[in-house]
Amino acid sequence: MACSCSCGGDCKVTLLYACSGAANTGLLADQVSRALSGRGVGGMTCLSGVAAGLSGFVVSAQEADKNVVIDGCKVGCGARIFKEKGLPFEHVVITDFGVTKGETPVTAELVELVSDQIAQRIA
Amino acid sequence: MMKVQILGTGCPKCKALEANAIKAIEDASLDAVIEKITDIDQIMDMGVMMTPALAVDGEVLSVGKVLNKDQVLALVKGGR
């Protein structure tokens, strides 16, 4: 992650949450989130932990400088979780990047391409 | 007995939070013990993404902040 510890200074903490749903779009959301985390764009953490109301996940989301919720499709389950919990977030939807739910194959090239675009958007 | 947990890998800010928590407990004569959690896997398992963090009996109450003594006491006695 870009910064996981407030001990070192004034770095900004961006947390990434992927819907990781069953469709190709959910898979892509997950893989893009992992790719962005690997690049240091942000730190991937568990959307389901937030949904379950586990205190560490919820308080981390409250204190992060930025939460980016990556949903696979327009259903927007991740965004709904954050709205329900009253947590601030930026929303990214995989189908906004030319990906069709249930059709577009998830390839390494696509993960790279979408990751590039999201990284630019949330910078 | 209440367990006040300090989550951090051992950096100066983690130690500062621990010191403030100890002082809060001592000054208020709370029936509590301090537990230091330094293992990063355990910290991540608790969903904490920024350290230092403070939890009470497994419930995370603060993340990424060096709380002062009064802030620790307020959280420990009354939740967030």
Has B13 been annotated as catalytic? no
- What is the rounded average pLDDT for all residues in chain B? 94
* Dihedral sign (CA B66, B69, B70, B75): positive
3-state secondary structure of B41: helix
CATH code: domain of residue B42: 3.40.30.10
pLDDT at A9: 58
The answer as to whether A1 is a domain residue is no
| CB contact A49 to B (< 8 Å) | yes
Has B11 been annotated as catalytic? yes
List the beta strands (DSSP E) in A1-123.
Answer: 14-18, 43-44, 66-71, 90-93
| CB contact A15 to B (< 8 Å) | yes
Average pLDDT of span B66-73: 96
| CB contact A63 to B (< 8 Å) | yes
- Split at pLDDT 50, 70, 90, the class of B2 is very high
d(CA B72, CA B14): 13
Average pLDDT of span B15-42: 96
pLDDT at B71: 97
d(CA A117, CA A92): 10
* Dihedral sign (CA A26, A3, B38, B49): negative
The answer as to whether A3 is a domain residue is no
Q: CA of B64: which chain A residue's CA is closest? A: A6
The ipTM (two decimal places) reads 0.90
Q: Show pLDDT as tens, one digit a residue, over chain A (123 residues).
A: 444 455 545 679 999 999 999 999 999 999 999 999 999 999 999 999 999 999 999 999 999 999 999 999 999 999 999 999 999 999 999 999 999 999 999 999 999 999 999 999 998
- Structural domain harbouring B15: 2-78
Question: Which pTM was predicted?
Answer: 0.91
pLDDT at B80: 47
The answer as to whether A2 is a domain residue is no
- Cβ-nearest to B11 among A5, A43, A55: A5
Domains: count for chain A: 1
Please write the tens of the pLDDT for every residue from B30-50.
999 999 999 999 999 999 999
The answer as to whether A47 is a domain residue is yes
Q: CA of A50: which chain B residue's CA is closest? A: B47
* Closest CA–CA distance from residue A60 to any residue of chain B (Å): 6
The answer as to whether A9 is a domain residue is no
Q: Locate tokens 């942000």: which residue? A: A42
On chain A, the residues whose CB falls within 8 A of the CB of B63 are 56, 59-60, 62-63
Q: Which of B14, B21, B55, B56 is catalytic?
A: B14
d(CA B44, CA B41): 5
- Structural domain harbouring A109: 14-122
Q: CA of B17: which chain A residue's CA is closest? A: A7
* Dihedral sign (CA B34, B40, B46, B47): positive
